[in-house]
Amino acid sequence: MKLRLFSRGFRFTTGNGKFYKKMDFSDPPAKASLCCEESVEGAPPTYAMYEALKDSCQNNATYFHPDDSENGQRLYQGFMTLIDHIDTVWPLVDHVRKVAPSYDFDAKSPGNGYRSFVSVVDSCVLHGLKLSRQVCTGRDALLFRKGYFVKEVESCGQLLASLGTCLHHLQTLLSWAAPGELFPIEPHSPEELFSQADTINQYCFYGRCLGFQFLPSMRGILKGISICMAGFSEAYYSHGNLISSVWTGGQYLIDPEMRARRIVNISQSASVEFCKAFWFLAESEIMKRVPSLMSSTVAVNKIITLPPEPIVMTTNEGKEMTILPPTVHIGLQGLNVRLISVNKRIGMAGEGSSTLPPAEGIIFHCHGGGFVAQSSKSHETYLREWASKLNIPILSVDYSLAPQAPFPRALEEVFFAYCWMINNFKEIGTTGKRIVFAGDSAGANLIAGCTLKILEAGLRPPEGLFMAYAPLLVSFIPSPARLLCLMDPLLPFGFMMRCLKAYASPNARGKVEKRSSKENSTSNATTPVEGNGFLKVSPSQEGASEGPSSFEEVSPSDLAELQAHKSGSERRQSSDTTISAASLTSEHTAAAGITPTEDKSQQEPESENSSTLIGEPPLLHDGENKDHKKRIKTRISEAATGLMGAMSSRLAFITGSNNIRPSQEELAVRSNLDALIARSPSDEFIFSVPRDPLLSPYWADDELLKRFPPVRILTVHLDPCLDDCVMFAKKLKGLGNEVGLDVLEGLPHGFLNFSLMAKEAHEGSNLCVERIKQLLDLENHANTPDNTEL
C-alpha cells in the first residue's frame, strides 16, 4: 500500500493505483454534540475515521515489519495492536453512538454521559490518527526518533484498550436503566459495575495522553496542574524535604509515565486532607493577587461577618418566624460573606457617601470546591467579571467546610446568610427587587438545597437559579458521566469519592483508619491498587516507571502555610457580633496593615484526622547495584532533610510561623509500611449516603420542585456531574418548570476558575453572565412597583 499526504487529508491508493478514499479529519477533540449525529454533506462518516486509522496503522506496520531493531519491532507491534483494539472498540462504540441521543435533555441541548464517552473514544481515534500521520511523514527522516514514537504509539494503544473496557461498562449501565434514564432503576454499586468487565488501566489517562479529550487551550493548563499535584505530593509527604521534592517534582515534567503512576496513586490513596491542601493552593499569597491584577476592577470587595444571632423573618403569608443561627457539628460561629460590587452605592455599610442609587438586583453566590476546600476568594477571578458585566452586587457565602463541618452545616449557613440578606438589602447596595442564586459545583448543590429550605419555610424565594456543573445527586450511583472521573485530571475518582464521603457520610470516616492503625508489620502486604475492588492496575503496568516511592503522609499541620484555610469554623474565630465598621473589611485595608477578617489565618493546627496513613506501592529493585544506589539516595535524602530542616527552622523564626515537626509516635506509625499498604481503598469507598432531598435535590418531592423558580443550568460534556444536570433538568421540565440547559465542548469541571487563562473558558464565563441576565430580567421589571421593605 502506498501513502500520499495532502495537507490535513489522506488519500490512499491500492496496488493498481486507483484512489478509493479521500478523507479530511479535524484534530482532537471530537465534538460530543456532533458525534452521534448523521453525517453532513462534505464530512466523512464516523466509521471512515476508524478505517483511516486502521489503514494508516497498517501502512506503518508494513513499513516497520522488516526493521530488526528493538524499536522498529515495537513500532510494528504497537501499530498492529492498535488495529486489533479498533476492531474491538468499533462495534461497542457504534452501539452506544446509536442510542446516546435518546438520553439528551432536548434536541437543542445534546449532551449526556453516553454521548460524552463516544466523543472521548472518537477523540482517542483522532489522536491516534494524528500520531500515525506524524510517523508516516517523518519515518524516512534521518533524525526520526523511534524511541519517542514507540512510547507514544504504545500509550495510545493502552488508551484505546482502557476506553474499550469503559465501553463494556456502558453496556452494563444501559441494561440497568430504563430508556432515557441515566441512573439505574434498582440499586447498584460501583463495585458491582466494575466487577462486570476487565480491570481499567488508569495510567494511560494521566501519562502521555493526558488531556487528549479537552480543548487544546486547556491541555497545557491541565498538564501543568497534574505536574503541580504530583510535585506537591512530594512536599506534602516528605517532611518538608524541599531538595528531594523539587528534584522529583522536576522529573514529573519530563517523565509522563512517572507522573501517571504518581497521580493514580494519589487519586486512590491520598486522604481528603491532601485534597484540601492542594486545592487551597489557589488561595496562596501569590494567587490571591491574580484577580486584582488580571480581572475587572471593583470598588467594593470586602468581608462581612454575620453575627450568630436569631433572625426574625416574615413569611409569604405575613407571619413572623425566627431563624436560629447554625449550631450543628461546630457550634455557634460567626459567618463570613463577601460583598463584591463594581460601584459604591447609597446605603452600603462602611463605604461612605455615594450618589449612585441601590441596584435593582442582587446575586447570591456559593462557591465550589467539593464541599471541602476553597472560598469566595479563590472564585474571585470570575466573580469580579460578573459584577462588572451585570453591574449589580454579588454576595458570596464562605460556608464551613467538611470534614470538620459536614452536611448539613454548610446548607444551614447558606440559608442563614440568605435570611440575613433579605433583612439587609440596603447595607449591600440593592433594593432586592430581583434575586438570583448562582453557584458552581458544590455551591450549585447548596443553592438548590437552600431553595428547597426556603420553599418549605414559606419565605420569599429567589427569582431564578443559575447552576454550573452541579452535583445534584450526592451519591456515587453509577452513571455514564460518573465514569468520566476515571480519566479526569481535576476531579479523579478518589478525590470525588473522598469529598462525597467527607461531606455526606461523616460517620463512615475513621473506620478504615482505625482498622489500619491496628495492623502490624507482619501482615500480608497488598498494594492499594491491587486490593482495590473498583480499579485494579494491570500487572503489565505495575513497573511502568521508575522513581522515588516515598509516599507517606505527615500531619497536615506540617504544611499549615500551604493550607490558607482549614474550615469555616476556623476562618470565623472573631469577636465581632454585630455588623459594624469592625466587621466590614475592604481589600485595600491590607495595604494599610489591617488584617482582613478572612485573613485571621488558622494559626492553630488541626488536631483531628491527622493520623491517616497511606502508602505507594514500593518499587522492587533486584541486584546489589540498585540496592547500593538506594542506600546512597537515602543518605543524600537524610542529609538534605537535615539541611532543609535547619533552614526551615531559621525561616520559621524569622517569619514567626509555626514549624511543627511530627512526633516520634507519628514517625513510628508512619514507618509501618505493611499496615499502610494492606489498606484497601475500596473498603473506605463502601459507605452509605442518606436519601435526603436537602443533600441531593434530585430526590426532592415533585410538589416542591414544581414551585422552583426558573432555572438555568450550564455544564460541560466532560463533567462527571453531567448526568446529574441532565436528569435534574429533565425532571423540572417534566413538571412544567421553566428550565434551560447548556452543555459546552472540551472544557473540564471547574472551568470558571480558568476563565482568565483560556479563551474558551472565558467565553463560557460570558455565557454564564448571559444566562444570569435572563434570570434577572431587569429590563422587563424596571417599571414594576417595588414593594420590598428594606
* Active-site residue set: 441, 719, 749
In a 3-state reduction of DSSP, which class is residue 407?
A: coil
Is residue 3 within a helix (H) or strand (E), and if so which, with residue range? strand 2-6
Nearest by Cα to 380 from 442, 452, 303: 303
* Contacts with 759 (C-beta within 8 Å, 6 or more apart), sequence order: 217
* Contacts with 58 (C-beta within 8 Å, 6 or more apart), sequence order: 1, 79, 83
DSSP string covering 112-146: -HHHHHHHHHHHHHHHHHHHHHHHHHHTTSTT--H
From residue 728, alpha-carbon distances to 210, 267, 578, 713, 788 in Å are 30, 28, 39, 9, 31
Residues in the chain: 790
Strands (E), 669-779: 711-716, 739-744
Q: What is the dihedral of CA 244, 245, 248, 253, to 10 degrees?
A: -150
Angle between helices 70-99 and 146-176 (to 10 degrees): 20
Work out the number of other CB atoms within 10 angstroms of the CB of residue 133: 20
Nearest by Cα to 361 from 786, 737, 771: 786
Which alpha helices (H) appear in 237-294, and where do they start and end? Answer: 242-254, 256-269, 272-279, 285-288, 290-294
110 burial via Cβ count (<10 Å: 0-12, 13-18, 19+): buried
φ and ψ at residue 303, rounded to 5 degrees: -100, 135
Nearest by Cα to 17 from 27, 2, 39: 2
Distance CA 328, CA 196 (A): 41
Buried b (16+ CB within 10 A) or exposed e, 261-279: bbbbbbbbbbbbbbbbbbb
Q: In terms of DSSP bridges, do strands 300-306 and 335-341 run parallel, antiparallel, or are they unpaired?
A: antiparallel
Let me know: does 23 contact 52? Beta carbons within 8 Å: yes
Grid cell 446509536 is found at 98
Q: What is the dihedral of CA 31, 36, 38, 39, to 10 degrees?
A: 40
How crowded is the C-beta side of 653, counted as CA atoms within 13 Å? 6
Distance CA 62, CA 47 (A): 23
Grid cell 524516512 is found at 140
Which alpha helices (H) appear in 289-336, and where do they start and end? Answer: 290-294
